[in-house]
Amino acid sequence: MEHTISLKQNHEFRRLYSKGKSVVSPYFVIYCRRTGRPVNRLGITTGVKLGNAVKRNRARRRIRALYRTQEQRLAAGYDIVIVARTRVIYGKYCELERSFEQQMKKLGLIPSQNAASSGTKQPYRKKGDKPR
């Protein structure tokens, strides 16, 4: 995580919970808030309800890996807190990836494909022409 700093202070987490935007999925809840810093700050929360320390650490590792794969695509200057839910431990990784990406798009941290490709024109094709 080269462009990310860890959130560690309790008051920073509480500020995000109260003033940040949030989205919910079966695997996690994501809170984010714009800070204007040149880097993102990430916090991961795993409660005792998830299970013992081994399961909580596994959930944190999976979430960190999800974040790392999408880090280059994320907008900079946000505080992000990810709260793990029980299904994150047992869910398939591809489902976790899909859910994580959808939630980040909902929050506006990943630009949607339509906005990114609006500047490029599609070639004109007549009816019956096959795409190349």
Instruction: Render pLDDT for 42-85 as a digit per residue (tens, 0 to 9).
Output: 999 999 999 999 999 999 999 999 999 999 999 889 999 999 99
φ and ψ at residue 36, rounded to 5 degrees: 85, 0
d(CA 109, CA 39): 13
Which helix (H) or strand (E) segment is 102 a member of? helix 93-107
Is-contact 71 41, C-beta < 8 A?
A: no
User: Is the pLDDT confidence value at 100 over 50?
Assistant: yes
Q: How far apart are CA 116 and CA 7, in angstroms?
A: 30
pTM recorded for the entire structure = 0.81
Give residue limits of the domains in the chain: 8-108
Judge whether residue 123 has pLDDT over 60. Answer: no
CATH class name, domain 8-108: alpha beta
> Would you say residue 114 has pLDDT above 80?
no
